């Protein structure tokens, strides 16, 4: 497809279960970002990938959160032992950033709405 896709679009899970959220970036985009948007809150940066490496993991809220990216394309955000406070919309974005071109625009996916009961 032409845009960033995310799956699932909605996920309801029970407290303590693990969840995996998937992001498929725009083809050829080397940079990939994960954000969290909670009700009434702004966008909270989680992690950023350049290719398959993650130079900045500073936004991950706890060690229950992890992310990987393989083949410079699809990324998976995993939340282990989910808690109710993890309920939010998880957004993925990609950009075609290369060194020195900091003005690249991010293109966002529709998000995954996670509800932890």
Partner 1 sequence: AQSVAQPEDQVNVAEGNPLTVKCTYSVSGNPYLFWYVQYPNRGLQFLLKYITGDNLVKGSYGFEAEFNKSQTSFHLKKPSALVSDSALYFCAVRDMTGGYQKVTFGTGTKLQVIP
- For partner 1, give the closer residue by CB, 16 or 55: 55
- For partner 1, give the closer residue by CB, 43 or 74: 43
Least Å from the CB of residue 34 to partner 1: 12
Q: Is 63 exposed, middle or buried (0-12, 13-18, 19+ CB in 10 A)?
A: exposed
Residue 79 sits at φ, ψ, to 5 deg, of -120, 120
Site residues, partner 1 (CB under 8 A): 4, 31, 33, 35, 41-43, 45, 48, 50, 55-56, 91, 93, 97, 102-111
CA atoms within 13 A on the CB side of 38: 9
- For partner 1, give the closer residue by CB, 76 or 97: 97
Least Å from the CB of residue 116 to partner 1: 21
**CA 106, CA 45: separation in Å to the nearest integer?**
13
How many helices (H) and strands (E) in the chain? 0, 11
Least Å from the CB of residue 27 to partner 1: 18
From residue 19, give the alpha-carbon distance in Å to each of 63, 72, 98, 114.
Answer: 14, 22, 31, 9
- For partner 1, give the closer residue by CB, 14 or 100: 100
Least Å from the CB of residue 47 to partner 1: 10
């Amino acid at each position: 497809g032409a845009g960033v896709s995310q799956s699932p679009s909605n996920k309801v899970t029970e407290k303590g279960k693990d969840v995996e959220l998937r992001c498929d970036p725009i083809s050829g985009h080397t940079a990939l970002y994960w954000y969290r948007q909670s009700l009434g809150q702004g966008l909270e940066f989680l992690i950023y990938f350049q290719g398959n490496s993650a130079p900045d993991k500073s936004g991950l809220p706890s060690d229950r959160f992890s992310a990987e990216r393989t083949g410079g394309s699809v990324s998976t955000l995993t939340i282990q032992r989910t808690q109710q406070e993890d309920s939010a919309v998880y957004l993925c974005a990609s950009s075609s950033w290369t060194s020195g071109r900091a003005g690249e625009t991010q293109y966002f996916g529709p998000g995954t709405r996670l509800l932890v009961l």
